[in-house]
Amino acid sequence: MVDDNPESLRFLVDTLESEGMTVLIARSGEATLELLDEVAPDLILMDAIMPGISGLDATRAIKSDPATEHIPVIFMTGLNEPEHVVAALGTGGVDYVRKPIVIDELLARIRVHLANARVSFRSRLALGLAGRSLAALDRDGAIIWCTPQAETLLVSIDPEWTASRGGLPPALLGAVRQLLSDASQPLPVIRADVRGMAIELALVATDRPDETLLRITEVREDSKIEALQKQSGLTRREAEVLLWVSYGKTNRTISEILGISPRTVNKHLEQVFRKLGVETRAAATAIAVRHLAD
């Protein structure tokens, strides 16, 4: 609970603790941000207007940090004009209550937003536990949230990177911009070589218009080749050729990578087309991407 008024704090703390809640107190926006470096509350009740860093500015900082942006913020405000309410919600707050506080209303709103936040957290945790390495980006390319697997991989790419910075590691920015520029294409996928690792970036369908969902994976060629063999009925060499075709490589480049002639690559590719029942590289690539995403 954040409020610079001791009387308001005392009354509300007593009320919430009588409901079985544990309440931490901050008297300013500055104290709030310092406290969040130490603890992660389930919900924040925020006084909108305070000296120094206001509740609005503190909330903007909270929502700009991936480590805290998931925490629901309910504003408490004595301001009643519509523009004040719009400004408060525009910072990322989920709700507001007007002072003087009606306790039953406040408790009802707290319970609703706690329940919603827990459902959201469990969903993201489930994605992480399922091994999905996903990061959600806003329109400016800043990270809204990411699964534990994605965070681990991003630290491997850039040991100095931290989720609290909000953006992707600089080494990935060029590839991500290129990927987003091709977002109108079906199954957009791109590869980047970073710190000796082959990183694959792919856009994933999302129902949020203000959010881009990015799958970030380290390419391990052997496992991908085995997956293509298993799902497509290809020989290992055919699977190798298909994998590199799916990366957009030409026959000549593939021949240099695999140490075979371009003519041999073309023969393998003919067999790949026959087994997959397709006639073009684009169609074969679409099948490969779908198999590798399963």
* In the chain, domain spans: 6-126, 132-218, 221-293
Q: Is the dihedral of CA 281, 286, 289, 292 positive or negative?
A: negative
Most confident of 35-49, 183-197, 211-225: 35-49
- Does the CA dihedral 236-252-185-177 come out positive or negative? positive
Q: What is the mean pLDDT of residues 201-222?
A: 78
212 pLDDT tier (thresholds 50, 70, 90): confident
What is the CATH code of the structural domain delimited by 221-293? 1.10.10.10
Contact by Cβ (8 Å): 77, 47: yes
* Residue 183: pLDDT over 70: no
What is the distance between the alpha carbons of residues 246 and 81, in angstroms, rounded to a whole number? Answer: 56
Q: Which of 110-119, 126-135, 260-269 has the lowest mean pLDDT?
A: 126-135
CATH number assigned to the domain covering 6-126: 3.40.50.2300
**Tens digits of per-residue pLDDT, 236-291?**
999 989 988 888 888 888 887 788 888 999 999 999 999 999 999 988 988 988 88
Dist CA 195 CA 230 (whole Å):
30
Per residue in 88-108, pLDDT (tens digit) is 888 989 998 988 889 999 999
What b/e sequence results for 213-249 when a residue is b if at least 16 CB atoms lie within 10 Å of its CB, and e otherwise? bbbbbebeeeebbebbbeebebeebbbbbbbbbbbeb
For residues 107 and 222, give the distance between their C-alpha atoms in angstroms, rounded to a whole number: 55
Let me know: does 33 contact 63? Beta carbons within 8 Å. no
- At 62, is the pLDDT very low, low, confident or very high (cuts 50, 70, 90)? very high
Is the confidence at residue 122, as pLDDT, over 70?
no
Q: How confident is the model at residue 30 (pLDDT cuts 50, 70, 90)?
A: very high
Give the pLDDT band of residue 28 (cuts 50, 70, 90): very high
Alpha-carbon distance values, 171 to 132, 168, 193 (Å): 21, 8, 9
Order of strands, sheet of 212-218, starting from the edge strand that comes earlier in the sequence: 143-146, 134-137, 212-218, 197-204, 189-194
**Angstrom distance (rounded) from CA 241 to CA 249:** 9
Question: What's domain 132-218's superfamily in CATH?
Answer: PAS domain (3.30.450.20)
What percentage of the chain exceeds 70 in pLDDT? 90
| Residue 80, pLDDT score | 72
* Six-digit token string for 265: 């690559």
Cβ atoms 275, 232 nearer than 8 A: yes
Distances (CA, A) of 197 to 32, 44, 161, 173, 288: 39, 40, 16, 15, 21
Render pLDDT for 172-182 as a digit per residue (tens, 0 to 9).
888 888 888 76
Say which amino acid occupies 63.
K
Instruction: Tell me if the pTM is above 0.85.
Output: no
Cβ atoms of 35 and 24 within 8 Å: the answer is: yes
Asked if pLDDT for residue 235 goes beyond 90, the answer is yes
Residue 229 corresponds to which tokens in the numbers above? 């063999």
Average pLDDT, the chain: 84
81 Rama sector, left if φ>0, alpha if ψ -120 to 50, beta otherwise? beta
Exposure b/e, 79-102, CB count within 10 A at least 16 = b: beeeebbebbeebbbbebbeeeee
